[in-house]
Amino acid sequence: MFDVILLAVDGSKQSPFVVDLARQLANGHPSTVYVTCCIDESYALEENGDVPGEIVEYPPAEEEQNTARAVVGNALKTLNEAGIRAKGNLIVGTAGEALVAEAEKIKASVIVIGHRQLSAFGRMMKGSVSAEVIAHAPCPVLVEVRGN
């Protein structure tokens, strides 16, 4: 059915529901689930852009990346234990744009994402990632609403 599933996780309380939804989609099919967590550009550590010999420490960015790796790792563990073929990666950028670009890059056949209930102020300030993905995705988008 869906051979390439892009699973967007963020570590929120809704993440287990989103992972379970992707597991249900992939179960019994030769699908690959790409577990993806997006890191804001201001927290992305440059691995090759620093001046040689210069040590750059930015604890908030290190914490952000470690948290993202843990979120992806937990989802991978759950999927692998269920017998689902899964790969993990971190992407950098504005979440909606970065997820759409990643879906295009891996030729996703579906995107599985959560939806958080933001206040009117939250939507005005941050915007809805799921709404942006739905509006620009190159494939169907399945939005998990349980766990809000």
pLDDT digits (tens, 9 = 90+) for 41-91: 776 665 544 555 555 666 777 888 889 999 999 999 999 999 999 999 999
Based on C-alpha coordinates, what's the Rg of the chain?
A: 16
Residues 12-25 as b or e (16 or more Cβ within 10 Å = b): eebbbebbbbbbeb
Q: What's the average model confidence in pLDDT over 88-96?
A: 92
Inter-CA distances, 34 with 18, 125, 130, 146, Å: 13, 29, 17, 21
Cα–Cα distance measured from residue 113 to residue 144, given in angstroms and rounded to the nearest whole number: 6
Q: 4-144, what's its fold?
A: Rossmann fold (3.40.50)
Cα–Cα distance measured from residue 116 to residue 24, given in angstroms and rounded to the nearest whole number: 21
Residue spans of the domains in the chain: they are: 4-144
Whole-number pLDDT of residue 45: 60
